[in-house]
């Protein structure tokens, strides 16, 4: 992995310690939260429970993450999605979670007019941002793959999927963490948990409030900060905070910086004046999809989209380090 990716993981290790201080770590009558952390989903994940201290609940959360990764991973040869893309599935009937997530992805692909496109796999598979010495793909390979990047050529019906062309494939990296976070929250609530925080490497989803009834306070990373600083904090009650930014995974090659947020229209990293987009929403999967969509759309079109949606707010950070808020975005 690149040093920058190691620093990205280190940031979330630090934030796992920092967030409790933001969120108020003096838990009335319960002390510190019960917490479990691990490297999963190619990032650092942590789940903290503030009101019910049952290790079995946390253990099951970690098991759930592993189970979903075996469904949604684009790169793990044992995953259902990998085998789907490689035409290796023994049955044409997809698992229910994979059906659900693909349908969500298709809906967002259509609603965004392709700014978000789960059929980007032919292009995204050409880029390796975690290689020890990453290099950009051959331009000819990108041009050859672009005709297959079209979610309109993916058809899901009765649990079965077909592609207009066998060269097509699906990449769920833009929404999988959000979907998993939502399922973890549902499980925690089913177990009677009313105060918890789920952090899947940039996807933060809160269950309820802090034990004293006050909101959690979530830090938003300052792009490219060498000290892993937060640029602002926001109060959050029972909602999701998802950030997408050019600082998460990138590499420099021959004087050009390449980041992991790819434009489905070009096959290359998005070029605009944005450094980061943060979405506040009820469902983390919505925040996941919208953070990518708005980044591709840019500040003006992205803000217009957010203002048209109910119960969704956003903060955009431009390359002059200015913060741009939607009309209802909360501020400390």
Adjacent-strand bridge partners of 38:
45
Q: What is the pLDDT of residue 332?
A: 66
Q: What is the pLDDT of residue 19?
A: 43
Q: Is 254 exposed, middle or buried (0-12, 13-18, 19+ CB in 10 A)?
A: exposed
Residues of the binding site: 174, 288, 292
Q: What is the pTM of this model?
A: 0.90
Q: Which letter does DSSP use for residue 271 in this model?
A: -
Q: What is the pLDDT of residue 4?
A: 46
Q: What is the pLDDT of residue 227?
A: 62
What phi and psi, each to the nearest 5 degrees, are found at residue 66?
A: -60, -40
Q: How far from each other are the two terminal CA atoms of the chain, in whole angstroms?
A: 36
Q: What is the pLDDT of residue 14?
A: 42
Nearest one of 52, 20, 331 to 199, comparing CA atoms: 20
Report helix angle 96-111 to 55-72, nearest 10. Answer: 70
Residues of the binding site for Mg(2+): 174, 288, 292
Domain regions of the chain by residue span: 1-332
Q: What is the pLDDT of residue 29?
A: 38
Query: In CATH, what class is 1-332?
Result: alpha beta
Q: What is the pLDDT of residue 104?
A: 98
d(CA 169, CA 150): 10
Q: What is the pLDDT of residue 331?
A: 80
Tokens found for residue 323: 């913060």
Mean pLDDT of residues grouped by 10 in the chain (332 residues)? 45 42 33 91 95 95 98 97 96 96 98 96 96 96 98 97 97 97 98 97 94 95 83 96 93 96 98 97 98 97 97 97 96 73
Look at phi and psi of residue 35 and say left if phi exceeds 0, alpha if psi is from -120 to 50, else beta.
beta
d(CA 21, CA 217): 9
Q: What is the pLDDT of residue 248?
A: 86
Report the DSSP pairing between strands 230-236 and 216-221. antiparallel
């Amino acid at each position: 992995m690149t040093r920058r990716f190691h620093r990205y993981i280190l940031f979330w290790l630090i934030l796992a310690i920092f967030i409790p201080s933001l969120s108020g770590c003096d838990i009335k009558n319960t002390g510190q939260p019960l917490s479990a952390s691990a490297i999963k989903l190619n990032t650092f994940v942590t789940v903290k429970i503030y009101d019910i201290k049952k290790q079995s609940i946390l253990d099951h959360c970690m098991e759930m993450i592993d189970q979903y990764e075996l469904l949604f991973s684009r790169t793990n040869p044992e995953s259902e999605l990998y085998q789907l893309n490689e035409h290796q599935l023994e049955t044409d009937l997809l698992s229910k979670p994979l059906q659900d997530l693909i349908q969500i992805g298709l809906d967002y692909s259509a609603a965004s007019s392709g700014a978000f496109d789960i059929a980007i796999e032919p292009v995204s598979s050409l880029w390796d941002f975690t290689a020890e010495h990453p290099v950009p793909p051959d331009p000819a390979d990108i041009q050859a793959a672009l005709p297959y990047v079209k979610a309109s050529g993916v058809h899901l019906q009765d649990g079965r999927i077909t592609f207009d062309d066998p060269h097509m494939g699906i990449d769920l990296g833009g929404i999988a963490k959000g979907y998993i976070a939502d399922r973890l929250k549902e499980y925690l609530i089913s177990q009677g948990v009313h105060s918890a925080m789920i952090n899947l490497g940039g996807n933060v989803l809160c269950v309820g409030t802090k034990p004293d009834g006050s909101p959690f306070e979530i830090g938003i990373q300052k792009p490219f900060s060498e000290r892993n600083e937060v640029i602002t904090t926001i109060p959050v009650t029972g909602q999701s905070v998802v950030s997408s930014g050019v600082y998460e995974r990138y590499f420099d090659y021959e004087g050009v910086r390449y980041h992991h947020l790819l434009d489905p229209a070009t096959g290359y990293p998005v070029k605009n004046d944005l450094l980061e987009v943060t979405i506040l929403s009820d469902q983390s999967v919505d925040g996941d999809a919208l953070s990518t969509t708005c980044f591709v759309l840019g500040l003006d079109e992205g803000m217009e989209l957010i203002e048209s949606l109910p119960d969704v707010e956003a903060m955009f950070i431009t390359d002059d380090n200015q913060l741009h808020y939607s009309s209802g975005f909360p501020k400390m």
